[in-house]
Structure 1
Amino acid sequence: MNRSTWKTTEGHQFFQRKTASRFANYPMSSPFQDSADAIALLHGQRLSALCGQQLTEAWVAWDKDDDSWFADEPVVLTFGDLCLSIVFWKTHEVTLEWKTIDFADPPNWFGCYGELDIEWRPCEIDSIRVSIGQTLQNISLIENCETLQVLVDAKHPEDVGSQTSRWYPFALSFRFERSIMTVYNALDENGLSDEVPEADYLRATSISDWQR
């Protein structure tokens, strides 16, 4: 079983796995979402339609020079004729796309990897590979609660010590017949796990509750 580790960064904890980190500005054709409501509005029906279908393929970008998973590019899941691409970005954003991908073309979603030797490969990472061929039973959105506290405010000293909290998308967890596959935010790139992340500052919402 693949195990991920908890990491604290800038006062927040995230479910993280060691992967090569690269940063870029990416002119996405599908906008990034930073709330559960936005994901439900834009993708809820399509995601719900995946339940009951079999995961037929899973693809990731592979860096041939490093012989490693290139985690900035999408995790691509195919369920029959449906193709779902998942990209986590920054610390609280995600985008989903439903385009058919020609896996013979080099991955370059971010538009700046032309000099890198990367290619699409069927995913051999255990947390995904074991789910191929199984029927999807449910999808959950995992959110991370970010709390900000006012430390200094010369103009409004009465606000010092006050806190505001907001929930942001952190992971999509796919529950199959005999396995779990979670794609999560590994600090500005994708991470993979065979567990559902749990913590006091995380909450999970089943896809059945998204249709609101």
Structure 2
Amino acid sequence: MLRFGIQDYRPSWLNGRDSITAAHGPRLAGLAGLTLQRAWLVWDLDADEWFTDAPVLMDFGAEQVEIDHQKFDDVSITWNTIDPSRAIEDSYFHLAWHAEPLPPLAELPGRALDHVELLEWAGDDMANGSIAVGFDFGPTWLIIFNALDENGFEHHAPAPSYRRHRLNS
């Protein structure tokens, strides 16, 4: 079964910083120094808005990381599996890949990545313990977080409510 009709995408859901670090830490850390080529989002063509339930693609040329959140604390990180030039074949939604469709994303291509952090939410709410992925493009940041069953963005350095875990290769 395809997730929202995205060809070849098979999410692998993980919970907690330790499991994410074990599965993807060195590879995420290895993105440091690479230049972002494109940031892809799935766009709902009927509503003319970001379809936040689908993965976010960060294309660094040599590597493409695909980040997706669901439920309250599930995150899937996959690598080089999605081709955004392929049509999305969903029977319910009218979806397509768009590169940098939101203004804060438009400034990111061409920037070198300084480092990646796993950000653990430390709040007194349902999101406590959920993991966001922070990309430091110095001075610009892109944080892809769990917006309670979908993806969300922040475009600033991590808030004090996050426990920060810098990844090293």
TM-score above 0.5, yes or no: yes
State, as a whole percentage, how many aligned pairs show the same letter: 29
Q: Look up the SS of the partner of 1:131 in the other structure.
A: coil
Out of 109, 115, 125, the residue aligned to residue 132 of structure 1 is 109
Amino acid corresponding to residue 178 of structure 1 in structure 2: P
**Are 2:57 and 1:76 aligned?**
yes
In 2, distance between residues paired with 1:78 and 1:131? 11
Out of 137, 158, 163, the residue aligned to residue 176 of structure 1 is 137
Q: Which runs of 4+ in 1 moved over 3 A?
A: 145-148
Alignment of 1:25-40 (within 5 A): 29-40=10-21
> Could you say if the C-alpha distance between residues 167 and 191 of structure 1 is closer, same or farther in structure 2, counting changes exceeding 3 Å?
closer
The runs of 5 or more residues in structure 1 that have no matched partner are 1-23, 149-165
Bigger Cα Rg: 1
Q: Please name the residue that 1:95 is paired with.
A: 76
Q: Please name the residue that 2:164 is paired with.
A: 204
**Are 2:122 and 1:141 aligned?**
no
Please give the per-residue CA displacement for 1:130-185, whole angstroms capped at 9, x wherever unaligned.
1111000011111124779xxxxxxxxxxxxxxxxx96333111111331111111
Amino acid corresponding to residue 190 of structure 1 in structure 2: N
Output the TM-score relative to the length of structure 2.
0.84
Please give the per-residue CA displacement for 1:44-85, whole angstroms capped at 9, x wherever unaligned.
111111000000111100111111110100110111121110
Q: Look up the SS of the partner of 2:30 in the other structure.
A: helix
Q: Please name the residue that 1:85 is paired with.
A: 66
Q: What's the offset of the Cα at 1:102?
A: 2.2
Aligned length in residues: 161
Q: Look up the SS of the partner of 2:66 in the other structure.
A: strand
